[in-house]
Structure 1
Amino acid sequence: MDAENLHYFEKAPITKAVAHFAVPMMLGMSMSVVYSILNAYFLGTLHNTAMLTALALTLPLFALIMALGNLICMGSGTFISRLLGEKQYDKIKQVSSFAVYASLLLGLIAIAAGLPLIDSIVHGLGATPDSFGFTKDYVTVMLIGSPVVVLCFTLENIVRSEGAAITSMIGMLISVVVNIALDALVIFVVHGDVTGVACATVAANLAACLFYLYHMGVKSPFLTISFKWFKATKEIVGSVLKIGIPVFVMSVFLGAMSLMLNHFLIEYGDRATAAYGISSRLLQFPEFILMGLCEGVVPLIAFSFTANRLRMKQAIGFTIKTIVLLASIFGVVVYLTSDHLIGLFTRDPQLIEMGSYILQVTFLSLFISGATALFTGIFQATGQGTAALVMAVIQGITLIPVLFIANSMYGFHGVVWSLVVADAVAFLVGGIMLLALRSKLQPDLESLVHG
């Protein structure tokens, strides 16, 4: 193994080790949110609410494509980190080769299944007559580009799983820079619309893929893209899917939740849907930073689970403290500037008011969602497939009845607050399962949970 990465896995002070793995992931994910926000910003300069609505309506589709990527990337990534702790280097090559080609296959399946049903998909997303054409254009491009997007998710994760956190971040930054540059070109030079923005997103993912493939094929001591190492053995497929299926289910539920929210919000007009689209993108910035922290430490937790469980406990404890600090800072900033943040995307006063309200309410659960992401990461890293599956479904199962009840009783306000309720239930369930599994994960974990 690379000596520097081995040092951070095994010997570096826990604060430096967590920073090494998490900070690049946090920066990379935050930048990916920046270009998601800029997509909305560039379209917002055209002053066409229907385009912003189309961008919001396609969030469930992107979540589904992300789910396909997560089906392979999360299971293979945590498996690779555990294999590093066990020093099974040949098997790592087999897993990485399997992950690459399985991801491409899933993307091709998405094209074959999605394109013939394109109109039905767009109607299912909740497109109105005004936004139907824009939504269809965006969906078409994203479906055609799904093999690239799925592969990008997988490559980023398995590169990070071998300890190459900086390399993982560089790939994400390449994607961000390419996307921003192409967005500006499409809107301000070519005078395009959502089709050009969607093409820019796919091209940015392709640029990152090429970088990751070069790293894996030339520089990585363990990962490979060579088909000769491809093996779909029962052990590899089972270990990957044991964690991948729960993450896939979680991503599908996230897409379904976003779809349901759009259907409920559309009852209150295009402004409500556009406001949710803008505020959710703004919320993604702190959410993805916390998610980057939690996902960034997963390789360290997975490695330590097979090599040094006391170090695993220390990493978890430090991460919890960092979540509390970051959530507090972001909360203060949002409550002081929410109107101004929404105002960056639109001049419509009603849209600003609705977006600011959604942003403030959903920010209430920022710490809860961060802690929930950490619980899920612990279960994934330690191979606890059943617990990870429960975490995947509980939020969606909770949101469905809450949405119907809250909408009937409190209307628009109830729809917005239902997100907070679903997050709180997932947090409680995750905490209970962590307590129940503490002896299996680490004999001393009880003191961490109670402390």
Structure 2
Amino acid sequence: MNNSRIDLLENAPVKTAIIKLALPTMLAMAVQLIYNLTDLFFIGKTGDPRLIAAISLASPIMMIIQAIGNIFATGTSSYISRVMGAKKYDEAKRANSVAFYTMFFSGLAITVLLYVIRGPLLSVIGTSSDTINPTSDYFTIITAFSIASIFQIGLSGLVRSEGATTHAMKGMVIGIGLNIILDPIFILVLHMGTAGAALATGIGNSVGAIYFIAYFLSKKSILSIKISDFKPSKIIYSETFKIGIPAALSSLAMSISMILVNVLAVAYGDYVVAGNGIHIRVMSMCIMLIMGLAQGFQPFAGYNFGSKAYHRLKEGFLITLLYSTLLALFFTLVFGFFGNALIGFFINDAQTIQAGTQILHAFNWCVPFLGIQLTMMVTFIATGMALKAMIVSLGRQCLIYLPLLFILNAVFGFSGFIYAQPIADITTTIISVLMSISFLKDLNEKNKIEITKNKSLPI
């Protein structure tokens, strides 16, 4: 079974390999998407926009917790794929074990820290007198499940790094499926509100994490989480953090952006906070499926970069770029024609629907370009190009977006508030295209060098 995974990465037709790797990852993302929308749907059925606003306000905290898992889901997994491509399987086992135990202790630390600063943090993230209590309920329970949240994100990436995208999908589906089942029970039957949503999330993440742990302890995996393989080294941590920190900074930047957006949105009313929260979940339909496609390509890119099969990497990159762009164009049409209906599906409140639809239609101007951005970002992560990955990621979330947000909001009010993100995304796309041209030229040069080397070898 392990040999079949290696053969898929190394020898299978490129289009076949991309499809086989991407479909399970996209399915896992689709299930995650269903969870996100189901969670929002049942909270919306309470008829209280304040509860939706509360989850929107607390979501950045959840993202900060998940960012820790993302360090290893991207950084360590990129390193593992590359060392496996170089046939260094013992190093891959050590890297996986180091990531596992580091995530565990990091989860303990973040749990304690968030409880200590809970009071001041709730004040900073933009809560009002109407949203402080439901936001606090969600925050408290989500924090208690920090380790499970980190493992759910981090371990799925590590499983994916060895090409086992089907098992990565299964772990996500099991955890999220349980979450979906528990949501209506806790929210509508037991009337637990945001606390019920958080508890369903925590239990689902815990069960998903248990699946991944069982997978690594079985003989199905090439990798290891044995304590005997926990041998921290400078190279493992440096390679993990070189790629993982930019990825975590992306999540952190997104969290900071969401907090600042919510703080500005409060000035327009809690219904704008709620409408923006619904818009984010609806927009995730596009972003998560494209990211699922790109993440399926990630182990292929890392492995072939590590094995110096640059021609396969280039072909896979172009195929993934094409598919992701077509997917983005499809969602552009969906949001353009059905935006109002999509927002209205989740809540029956006229002001919230109007605000959410306006934000969604403004954001839709940049949707066609998301495939380029996300494919480039994941490709740079897979090939160890940390700085380029960080430029793409932080550009749209922080470096370009935040200055535009404050300037346009101050000058144009609500219109500036909603159009800052699409302008930042289009600008980031231009930068991504320029870097992709440079990336392809570099691959061509490296491929020529490899061809020359192979010709000079004795037969």
Work out whether residues 26 and 289 of structure 2, in 8 Å CA contact, stay in contact via their aligned partners in 1. Answer: yes
For residue 452 of structure 2, what is the aligned residue in structure 1?
none
395-404 or 364-373: bigger deviation? 364-373
Work out whether residues 323 and 367 of structure 1, in 8 Å CA contact, stay in contact via their aligned partners in 2. Answer: no
For residue 58 of structure 1, what is the aligned residue in structure 2?
58
**How high is the TM-score relative to the length of structure 1?**
0.96
CA RMSD of aligned residues (A): 1.6
Q: 1:370 deviation in Å?
A: 2.3
SS at match of 1:219: coil
Equivalence map 1:348-367=2 (5 Å): 348-367=349-368
Equivalence map 1:22-37=2 (5 Å): 22-37=22-37
For residue 419 of structure 2, what is the aligned residue in structure 1?
417
Per-residue CA deviation, residues 309-339 of structure 1 (Å, 9 max, x unaligned), is: 1000000010111112111211212222112
For residue 48 of structure 2, what is the aligned residue in structure 1?
48
For residue 373 of structure 1, what is the aligned residue in structure 2?
374
Equivalence map 1:94-105=2 (5 Å): 94-105=94-105
> Number of paired residues?
446
SS at match of 2:127: coil
For residue 185 of structure 2, what is the aligned residue in structure 1?
185
Q: Relative to 1, partners in 2 of residues 1:221 and 1:26: Cα closer, same or farther, differing over 3 Å?
A: closer
Q: Tell me how far apart the structure 1 counterparts of residues 15 and 3 of structure 2 sit (CA, whole Å).
A: 19
59-68 or 428-437: bigger deviation? 428-437
Q: Tell me how far apart the structure 2 counterparts of residues 329 and 232 of structure 1 sit (CA, whole Å).
A: 45
Q: 1:305 deviation in Å?
A: 0.7
Equivalence map 1:340-355=2 (5 Å): 340-355=341-356
For residue 5 of structure 2, what is the aligned residue in structure 1?
5
Work out whether residues 365 and 423 of structure 1, in 8 Å CA contact, stay in contact via their aligned partners in 2. Answer: yes
Q: 1:351 deviation in Å?
A: 1.3
For residue 315 of structure 1, what is the aligned residue in structure 2?
316
Amino acid in structure 2 at the alignment position of 1:432: L
For residue 292 of structure 1, what is the aligned residue in structure 2?
292
Task: Indicate whether 1:406 and 2:412 are aligned.
Answer: no
Q: Tell me how far apart the structure 2 counterparts of residues 123 and 280 of structure 1 sit (CA, whole Å).
A: 22
Amino acid in structure 2 at the alignment position of 1:318: I
Identity of aligned residues (%): 28
For residue 124 of structure 1, what is the aligned residue in structure 2?
124
**How high is the TM-score relative to the length of structure 2?**
0.94
Q: Tell me how far apart the structure 2 counterparts of residues 43 and 313 of structure 1 sit (CA, whole Å).
A: 44
4-13 or 288-297: bigger deviation? 4-13
Per-residue CA deviation, residues 404-440 of structure 1 (Å, 9 max, x unaligned), is: 1111222112111111111122222222233344454
Q: Tell me how far apart the structure 2 counterparts of residues 72 and 43 of structure 1 sit (CA, whole Å).
A: 32
Q: 1:48 deviation in Å?
A: 1.1
Amino acid in structure 1 at the alignment position of 2:127: A
Q: 1:222 deviation in Å?
A: 1.6
Q: 1:294 deviation in Å?
A: 1.0
Per-residue CA deviation, residues 359-380 of structure 1 (Å, 9 max, x unaligned), is: 1221221232221111111111
Equivalence map 1:28-427=2 (5 Å): 28-307=28-307, 308-395=309-396, 396-427=398-429
Could you tell me which runs of 5 or more consecutive residues in structure 1 were left unpaired when the two chains were aligned: 447-451
Q: 1:443 deviation in Å?
A: 2.2
Per-residue CA deviation, residues 228-275 of structure 1 (Å, 9 max, x unaligned), is: 100110111111111011111111111111111111111100010000
SS at match of 1:364: coil
SS at match of 2:366: helix
Q: Relative to 1, partners in 2 of residues 1:11 and 1:445: Cα closer, same or farther, differing over 3 Å?
A: closer
Could you tell me which runs of 5 or more consecutive residues in structure 2 were left unpaired when the two chains were aligned: 449-459
